[in-house]
Amino acid sequence: MRPDECPIRAGLGVIGGPWKPLILSCLLDGGKRFGELRDVIPDAPEKVLSQQLRELERDGLVARQEHYEGEDALPKAEYSLTPHGQTLRPVMSELRKWGGKHRARGKVGRG
């Protein structure tokens, strides 16, 4: 198999990154504003978190919707998974399970 045909490489090209798996995991529970994501992932620099959200949006996994509260209010953006992003639910569920088992073995990685 040629490297450009590898499905693992294709998947990691979209969901790989320092914070993308955590962003996706957070959004499985429902839409979140940027500040909520920042609170749940405090180690992520705001600039990188914003960039990763834009990449996930570009790749069709995350949708950004602006809400206006009042006439003079600035828009507030909420991020949620698209239907295509929702297809990652079983993958993320299995990764959570595997990560829990791995932690129980005393093998704690980054994060």
pTM over 0.75: yes
Amino acid identity for residue 44 in this structure: A
Residues 29, 11, 111: CA angle, nearest 5 degrees: 55
Going by C-alpha positions, the residue among 82, 74, 86, 84 that lies closest to residue 35 is: 74
Report the chain's mean pLDDT, rounded to a whole number: 90
Q: Residue 109: is its pLDDT beyond 70?
A: no
CATH class of 3-104: mainly alpha
What percentage of the chain reaches a pLDDT higher than 90?
67
Q: Identify the pLDDT of residue 107.
A: 62
Q: What is the pLDDT of residues 20-30, one digit of tens each?
A: 999 999 999 99
Q: Identify the pLDDT of residue 39.
A: 96
Q: Residue 111: is its pLDDT beyond 70?
A: no
Residue 81 bridge partners (DSSP): 62
Q: What is the pLDDT of residues 60-87, one digit of tens each?
A: 999 999 887 777 677 889 999 999 999 9
- What's the rounded mean pLDDT across residues 80-105? 93
